[in-house]
Amino acid sequence: MVKKLIRHGGEVYSRVVETLDRVGGKALEINLLEELKKRDVNLTLPELRRLLMKLEIHDKVRVLSLDEERKIVELIKRD
């Protein structure tokens, strides 16, 4: 399901960025996954991580590790 959405215009990418913006620009990875599910974007943790890696490459988000399991995702704001 996600691969199909990614190929067709990147809607999932914009939903991730939009959701991060709505929650204040910063969230724990697991909390972001829960917020996305509330907004009918059903992703698995590996799918979310793949999306976040691509968004990080394009300077849209920054992912910081707190420990082996907890990661913070920050939206990069451009002025």
Q: How many domains does the chain have?
A: 1
25: left (phi over 0), alpha (psi -120 to 50) or beta: left
Closest CA relative to residue 5, chosen from 54, 70, 74, 78? 54
Please write the tens of the pLDDT for every residue from 14-65: 999 999 999 999 999 999 999 999 999 999 999 999 999 999 999 999 999 9
Q: What pLDDT sits at residue 46?
A: 94
CATH of the domain at 52: 1.10.10.10
Give the structural domain span for 21.
2-75
Residue 41 phi/psi, 5-degree rounding, is -115, 95
